[in-house]
Amino acid sequence: MTCLDPATGELRPDGASDDKLDRGVLVVAGVVVLGAIMSILDITVVSVALDTFQSEFDATSAQVAWTMTGYTLALASVIPLTGWAADRFGTKRLYLLAVVLFTLGSVLCAMATSLEMLVAFRVLQGLGGGMLMPLGMTILTRAAGPERVGRVMAVLGIPMLLGPIFGPILGGWLIEIASWHWIFLINLPIGIAALVYAARVLPADDVEPSETFDLVGMLLLSPGLAAFLYGISSIPETGTVADAQVLAPAIIGLLLIVAFVPWALRPANAHPLVDLRLFGNRDLTVAVLSLTLFGVAFFGASLLFPLYFIQVRDESTLSAGVLLAPQGIGAMVTMPLAGVLVDKIGPGRIVLVGLTVITGAFALLTQIDHETSYLYVLGALFVMGLGMGGTMMPLMTAALRTLSDHTVARGSTLLNIVQQVGASIGTAVFSVLLTNGLRDMPSVRLGTALSEAGVDPSDPGQAAAVAEVAGRLGVDPSTLGDVLPDMAAVFADTFVVAAVLVGVCLVPAFFLPRKPSERKVDPAAMVGH
């Protein structure tokens, strides 16, 4: 018996898709991975250049933070449009447009002569970057079919997991040997390669535009997400949720998002911007809930790893990036195996094991101090990577494998929205926990005040200045000897919160399916996609 391979358009033995990823799927995966590497690496590469931007443009930390915030808000605004645009114009055309926007934005960022120009061009980058991931997930899922979606999502997971680890290494290296301009210029050759590769490899679009554009939905959801995430991303700056800078945009954004829900569910609205009716699919709903909680817990806590090495262990940004490598190595070990097992036994058991391993790794990190052996810390990060390889992509697989070919684009869009929201909330929450925890430590408050005043506590000639600053704060000068132990204790306490939150993810994950997908690919349905 033979059937049509949706990735190549050729006849293959029936059931061959259950054995391995054929050449056609791997070639398509190469295109998607290249685009994902650009967009994901860019976020973390830029994060290490913020101090450089401050000195280059004579700006404050709050002002240069807009280079990250502007990108994130553009990302959030364009993601909801991606599902509709993919169905309306075709995934290949839209993917090529996304690569062009991202690459053009990168080149313009490198040419920026002011902070305002840099932020504006980062927004252009975000418009392209926001489409790359949901489009990539759509292209891969349609090419592989439900029986192989676990394996193909494991391929896409490589840049998603390694980007945050190797991005700081690359960014620090480029800034050290060249200049900050090269953290953007490096995207030019990658973008050109991705453009040529995608134009040659991706099948031509053959769409029949029939869906109307949900203008009302766009006016509600895109600005709603942008306003909500802006409010959330302002929390670390204000140090509290109870601030007008946080509450005003967050509440307005939330109201717009809430207003979108009944609009999207109206029977007369046959093609909403984001199809919330997909939540009628139990497996997708459970997977989305698990992924949201996991995004808050893991991506929020991930910012603690480099900060511990930099602030407590006095490592450089480049060294901190290198020290995070064991986490990526651990993920690389388990991710391919998890991809195969998801297709064979379903995601339920694999995700439960992965979450348990991550919770255990965070539990190990709750015991660290300022002198903990690097072997212990790096071992915990390696264990965490092992768990990551069996968690994030299997969760996405659990959602996407149950969707029909026509709804894959909308499902990918939905997953990317909740992942972005979860990661933003998690980053804000853990930033506040860490900042407030450090602020509550008398030794850290004194050390920070001395640094801001330009007083060197190790200089005997400045003892009077140290005493004066300490007296003003009502802090005993002798507490300076406790700065590093106290800082390490705050990190350890914050890791306790991370362990608890990841453990909570086990509850919805318990309801994930524990058998392989039974839906077979309908080759006829793949035509035009």
Considering the domain architecture, whether residues 376 and 432 belong to the same structural domain is answered as yes
Do 133 and 240 reside in the same domain of the chain?
no
Write the CA distances from 507 to 369, 473, 510, 511, 515, integer angstroms: 31, 45, 5, 8, 18
446 lies in the same domain as 432: no
Question: Final residue of a domain: which of 155, 175, 206?
Answer: 206
Is 315 among the domain residues?
yes
| One domain for residues 502 and 449 | no
**What pLDDT digit, counting tens, does each position of 481-501 carry?**
778 888 899 999 999 999 999
Q: What is the CATH number of the domain that holds 9?
A: 1.20.1250.20
* 524 within domain boundaries: no
Domain final position from 155, 189, 206: 206
Residue 16 scores a pLDDT above 70? no
- The predicted pLDDT at position 82 comes to 84
Does residue 527 belong to any structural domain of this protein?
A: no
Place of tokens 């930390």: 61
Structurally, the chain folds into a number of domains equal to 4
The verdict on 314 and 279 lying in the same domain is yes
Last residue of a domain, one of 156, 187, 206: 206
Residue listed under structure tokens 């391919």? 336
Q: Where residue 142 falls among pLDDT bands split at 50, 70, 90?
A: confident
In a domain, 525, yes or no: no
Tell me the residue range of the domain where 58 lies: 1-206
| CA gap 291, 419 in Å, rounded | 7
Over residues 351-366, the mean pLDDT reads 95
Q: Is residue 227 part of a domain?
A: yes
pLDDT value, residue 68: 80
**For 209-218, what is each residue's pLDDT tens digit?**
656 788 898 8
State the pLDDT at residue 518.
58
Same domain, 434 and 377: yes
Which letter does DSSP use for residue 515 in this model? S
Question: Which residues are within 8 A (CB) of 228 and not within 5 positions of it... i.e. 6 or more apart?
Answer: 249, 250, 253, 254, 256, 257, 421
Please check whether residue 47 is in contact with residue 67, taking contact to mean a CB–CB distance below 8 angstroms.
Answer: no
140 and 282: one domain? no
Average pLDDT of the segment spanning 393-413: 77
pLDDT at 70: 84
> Going by C-beta distance under 8 Å and a sequence separation of 6 or more, which residues neighbour residue 425?
232, 295, 296, 300
Q: How many CA atoms lie within 13 A of 275 on its CB side?
A: 21
Pick from 46, 82, 28: nearest CA to 274? 82
Residues 15 and 90 in one domain: yes
Q: What is the pLDDT of residue 232?
A: 86
Residues 156 and 200 in one domain: yes
pLDDT in tens, 292-350: 899 888 888 887 888 899 889 988 777 887 888 898 889 888 888 888 888 888 888 99
Is 526 a member of any domain? no
pLDDT above 70: residue 156: yes
* pLDDT 10s digits, 415-429: 888 887 888 888 888
* In a shared domain, residues 407 and 300: yes
Better-predicted residue by pLDDT, 10 or 252: 252
Quote the pLDDT of residue 501. Answer: 93
Q: Domain check: are 334 and 426 in the same one?
A: yes
pLDDT exceeds cutoff 70 at 414: yes
Q: DSSP H helical segments within 180-303, as ranges?
A: 182-185, 187-201, 215-233, 235-238, 244-265, 282-294, 300-302
20: confidence class by pLDDT, cuts 50, 70, 90: low
Q: In this structure, is residue 521 part of a structural domain? A: no
Asked if residue 339 is part of any domain, the answer here is yes
Q: Are residues 312 and 185 in the same domain?
A: no
